[in-house]
Structure 1
Amino acid sequence: MDAFFPYAETTQQITVRVAVTFHAEKSDPEMGQWFWCYHIRIENGGRTPVQLLTRRWTIADGRGALFQREGRGVVGEEPVIQPGEAYDYVSGCPLATPTGWMEGSYAMIEGGGGMLDVRIPRFPLLAPAVSN
């Protein structure tokens, strides 16, 4: 386990690592708003380049409601990741509850033209307890 990226999953030599941080300054519990930032590192342990084309997320709030999010690329990019290299990005997730989780997948194309469905590990969204 990596101390900075506590959540990781490998699909066909592509490893996705996740670190998540609650952001109190972007949250407003009195208004029912909590916000997390997550840092993703995608490592290519294979022998050919891969390109991230699309992402698919499943997000659950603390009430069990599920939300699906899909789109092209990540943070406006469709990165090509060379063998032995990694790609990092940071994004965020708002929720209407102080707890939840996220998981998902990336659709990638290999240098030889084959498609990969790369898993993003499930990670918790947990706001710290507030005492009065």
Structure 2
Amino acid sequence: MFQQVTKGIKISVKTSFLGAVYRGEQQYNAFSYFISIENNSKDTVQLLERFWVIFDALNDIEYVEGEGVVGETPILQPNDIYNYRSNCFLLSTTGAMGGNYKMINTETLEEFLVIIPTFQLTTTPTLN
């Protein structure tokens, strides 16, 4: 599991390899990632936007940004946890993802970035 804490917001990531899939005539390696966002601060916050950097050993770096996550812009009270699952498709058997969430303190309206730790995507477990 990969974890990072920014301003009291803890991001935890678990990954899994789903297998090879075809999209059109191209074969990809499909990965799922499970994200847990835990508000350990004393403030109520809302996730506004996401920004991802996706590294694929056989492809160009891809940048993905947009509103919320999986169609939602969750509000987290202190001690709340929000979980979601999404997918990534790589040409290579190895890659990585990382990025940040733009959040807002709902009381002060201060916007801030929360780091999503860079995590590995691999078809087979590797030893460090």
- Gap runs ≥5 in structure 2: none
Runs of at least 4 residues off by over 2 Å: none
- d(CA) in 2 for partners of 1:27, 1:34: 6
Which of residues 97, 101, 105 is equivalent to 1:102?
97
- d(CA) in 1 for partners of 2:116, 2:102: 11
TM-score (norm 2): 0.89
Task: Quote the residue 2:46 is aligned against.
Answer: 51
Name the structure where strand makes up a greater proportion of residues: 2
- d(CA) in 1 for partners of 2:73, 2:11: 16
Residue 92 of structure 2 aligns to a residue whose secondary structure is coil
Which of residues 111, 123, 127 is equivalent to 1:127?
123
Which of residues 10, 16, 24 is equivalent to 1:21?
16
Task: Quote the residue 1:65 is aligned against.
Answer: 60
Residues 64/95 of structure 1: CA separation in 2 closer, same or farther (3 Å cut)? closer
Task: Quote the residue 2:29 is aligned against.
Answer: 34
TM-score (norm 1): 0.87
Name the structure where helix makes up a greater proportion of residues: 1
Residue 30 of structure 2 aligns to a residue whose secondary structure is strand
- d(CA) in 1 for partners of 2:58, 2:30: 16
Alpha-carbon offset, residue 64 of structure 1: 6.2
Aligned alpha-carbon RMSD (Å): 1.7
Query: How many percent identity over aligned positions?
Result: 37
- d(CA) in 2 for partners of 1:95, 1:76: 22
- d(CA) in 1 for partners of 2:59, 2:88: 16
- Gap runs ≥5 in structure 1: 1-5
Deviation readout 1:16-44 (Å, 9 max, x if unpaired)? 000000002x535x943100000000000
Alpha-carbon offset, residue 48 of structure 1: 1.1
- d(CA) in 2 for partners of 1:58, 1:31: 22
- d(CA) in 1 for partners of 2:121, 2:97: 7
